[in-house]
Chains A and B, each alone.
Chain A
Amino acid sequence: MSILATYAGRLVAARNKLALLATVVLFAGCSANPIHKVTGTVLANYAESEATPYVMQMSDPKMACALGEGVDPLIYSFSRINDAPDTSGSLLMLLAANCMEYRAWEAELDYLRADYEGNVPQAKDARERAKRFYALTAERRLIAFQRAMAAYDYDPAKEPLECPFLFSEQDEITFLLGLLTGLQAVVNDANSGARAGIPRNIAPQAERAATCIDNEKTGGLPNAVRAMVWLLLPDTRPELSPDPWKVLENSSAMGVKAGMRASMALEAVAAETFGRTDVLADVIHRFAEADDTIEVWEKYRLADFVAEYIIQFSSDKYWMAEYGYRTPQAFFGKMSSEQNNENIETMSLEGLL
């Protein structure tokens, strides 16, 4: 009996050794360290299921963008040993691009200030700095766009259009933000003097893909993307479609209703692009006005705050070019430094002087 037991024990030990050997051989076949692979999977899953919803609820775009710059290389480095974490990778790169864009904005405001002051060398220097930052922004945004498309196995060039499978609300938002980022990359590239070489056909591709997203649910942003492209490339506008400016305005209103004013940011960019100062003044005013009434969509609070940064920058650009300084807080929503004193009662000073 005991001999049998000993024999059986040896057999189990031998089997375990064989299994261990097989595992080692198996992993030796792949060059990656098994712990790295597991860590990559855990991190990618964590990033998608926990970190993304957390970051999307943040109200500090600058901290969020710093996270993108810092963490993207770490998370995406796991694409060397695992499937590329494209969903989180697209959002992280999008955030990292925002950081670069904020630097470009500062340089652009420096340029406008120097231009206002008539200091040409300083203005030229600042404009060159802005162009370099815009080129880097465009490059990052192109990567974010490509990752978002890859994450949902969507080929933006394919015709006829085949919408991707988007299982959750987070998928829809990630895909939509990817499209918006692609469109922004084109604009950033032009502002860099075309040094990033971004393919310009992203714009019509984004227009088509935006039809895959529920417009109402996402605060009118898909239609705002489409209307922006219709203005840029009138050929892409379907027959009988409404006036793009009307669509942008409606989308902005839907954005306020949904608690995410990203459409308003797009309306402001369109107004600047097409020299519609009237629309720009109006959208900045509407944005500031909505501050008192809006119930921000908590799950995607970051999107509303990023939009606020964009509107603030649009306003600052205008103020800097016109007056040489940024929008004073009390004047956000206004395009002039004149106080409205029409209905203010004043007392007679007679007898005091």
Chain B
Amino acid sequence: MIRKSLTALTLAAITPIASAQTVKMCVFDVIGANGDMFNMVKDYALEMKSHGVDFDLKPYTDEGVAVGDFNAGQCDAVAATDIRTRPFNRFTGTVSAVGAIPSYDDLKTLLATLAQAKAAPLMKQDGYEVLGIVPAGAGYLFVNDRSMDTAGDLAGKRMATLDYQKDAIHMVNFIKATVVPSDITNFAGKFNNGSVDTAYAPAFAYEALELYKGIGEKGGIVDYPLAQLTIQVIAREGVLDDATAQASRQVAWDMYPQAMNLISRQEAAIPEDKWVRISEKDVEGYQEMFRQNRIEMRDGLNGAPDVYHPKMLSLLSKIRCSSNPSASECTSENRE
């Protein structure tokens, strides 16, 4: 009897391991397994273990290779920036649409909305499913001359632009600046050695990539979020069942405060005098400029790439008008 009970107990103890489903995940972090993002994904993975999923994480410092390995079937899931994961889900890939989320409060509303079970159908597209979205910080414009504080001043300037980011390339061309094709590993060097006049990046880059060198005495960081970068976890559809996939999105949403804490610290590390504050009137002008461009990139008009999802743009418009009902776009005829 005792032996039987012991056997039963032993079996009960090993059951969680036996029933856990192993999912290989390629994880992008600029600085690999000892990076902030990889560490957050470790927390996510640990939490998911209580939902019966055992993630096997592999670090990648090259985002293109991480997504490539995911495509080649070497991993069942991938965690990477939405700029790279856009092809897997156009709806969530539109979260980083230019100028679409002007504040972290709006971002919070958006991510809470997307974590709801009701949003689940929007998380699936062409055989892939979004398992979670975590903020990675707003992208800001770094300039080597702070007198460049209006879009007009950027005409003719050289801007380091991610060569795979179609919407950014369109915007750079729109403001008549010169695209200098770059990637995550070399844009900072170009800005710091003066071969470009401007670059855009989250606050993280200021200290880690020493962007203060490129800013020098005269430059600064324009205090206007150009886009909200997020890290998205994408899996092949069916890797997790519907209930577990929804639990995963909830787990990722629960990590919002942790991610924002990291982002706030990174933004606070930038000295106050390096921020270039722009007037309320100019902000309104940019909001409208970006809005018109988003519509073009939704519909593929005037040579714009067709990259944004109409439903996400519409949701983002609702969120903006809820937090700022007096904005001119809220009464505009061509609302997103």
Give the interface of A toward B (CB within 8 A): 115-120, 123-124, 127, 159, 187, 190-191, 193-194, 197, 199-201, 203-204, 231-235, 269, 272-275
Give bound CA distance, A265 to B110, whole Å: 44
Instruction: Give 3 closest A-B pairs by Cβ, nearest first.
Output: A118-B16, A200-B208, A235-B189
Q: How far is the CA of A191 from the CA of B35 in the complex (A)?
A: 7
Would you call B262 and A194 a contact (CB within 8 A)?
yes
Q: Which residues of A contact B39 (CB under 8 A)?
A: 190-191, 193
Interface contact B34-A124, CB-CB below 8 Å = no
Q: Is the CB of B269 within 8 A of A117?
A: no
B60 touches A275 (CB 8 A): yes
- A275→B58 contact, CB < 8 A: yes
Q: Is A235 within 8 A of B188, CB to CB?
A: yes
Interface string of B13-26 (1 = CB under 8 A from A): 11011001000000
Q: Which stretch (B42-50, B112-120, B125-133) binds chain A?
A: B42-50
Contact call A199/B49, Cβ cutoff below 8 A: no
**B266 to A, closest residue via Cβ:** A194
Neighbour of B31 across the interface among A119, A124, A197, A232, CB < 8 A: A232
Among candidates B34, B47, B186, B210, residue contacting A204 with C-beta atoms closer than 8 Å: B210
Cβ A274 vs Cβ B186 within 8 A: no
B254 at the binding interface (Cβ < 8 Å): no
Give complex CA distance A225, B109 in Å.
Answer: 43
> Across the interface, do B46 and A127 meet the contact criterion of CB distance under 8 Å?
yes
> A343 vs B48: C-alpha distance in the bound complex, in angstroms?
44
Min Cβ gap A195→B in Å is 9
Give complex CA distance A231, B204 in Å. Answer: 18
Q: Which residues of chain B from 96 to 122 have a CB within 8 Å of any chain A CB?
A: none
Interface residue ranges of B38-65 to A (CB < 8 Å): 39-40, 42-43, 46-47, 49-50, 58-61
Q: Do residues B59 and A273 form an inter-chain contact, with CB atoms below 8 A? A: yes
B59/A194 in contact, CB under 8 A: no
> What class of interface size applies to chain B in its complex with A?
35 or more
B188 near A201 with CB under 8 A, answer no
How many A-B pairs fall under 8 Å by CB? 85
Interface residues of B (CB under 8 A from A): 13-14, 16-17, 20, 31-36, 39-40, 42-43, 46-47, 49-50, 58-61, 185-186, 188-189, 192, 204, 207-210, 213, 258, 262, 265, 269
Most B-side CB within 10 Å, residue of A127, A193, A231: A193
Q: In the bound complex, do residue B61 and residue A274 qualify as a contact, i.e. CB atoms below 8 Å apart?
A: yes
Q: Is the pair B265, A194 in contact by a Cβ cutoff of 8 Å?
A: yes
Known contacts A190-B35, A275-B60; decide if A115 and B185 are in contact (CB<8 Å): no
Q: Kindly state the separation between the CA atoms of A308 and B118 in the bound complex, as whole angstroms.
A: 53
Minimum Cβ distance to chain A for residue B135 (Å): 14
A187 touches B34 (CB 8 A): yes
Q: Of A116, A191, A272, which is in contact with the most chain B CB atoms at under 10 Å from its CB?
A: A191
- With A235-B185, A273-B59 as known contacts, state yes or no: A120 contacts B34, CB within 8 Å: no
A-B contacts, 6 of them at CB < 8 A, read: A115-B46, A116-B17, A120-B50, A233-B208, A269-B34, A274-B61
- Whether B58 contacts A199 by the Cβ 8 Å rule is no
CB proximity of B44 to chain A, nearest CB, Å: 12
- Chain B residues with Cβ below 8 Å from A159 are 213
- C-alpha gap A115/B57 in the complex (Å): 13
Contacts of B208 in A (CB 8 A): 200-201, 203, 233
A117, A197, A272: the one contacting B265 at CB < 8 Å is A197
Q: Which residue of A lies closest to B26 (CB)?
A: A275
Chain A residues near B207 (CB, 8 Å)? Answer: 199-201
Q: Which residue of A lies closest to B263 (CB)?
A: A194
Chain A hits for B14, CB < 8 A: 118
- Chain A residues near B189: list those with CB within 8 A: 235
Query: Known: A190-B39, A194-B36. Is A115-B49 also a contact (CB below 8 A)?
Result: yes
Distance A269 CA – B58 CA, assembled complex (angstroms): 15
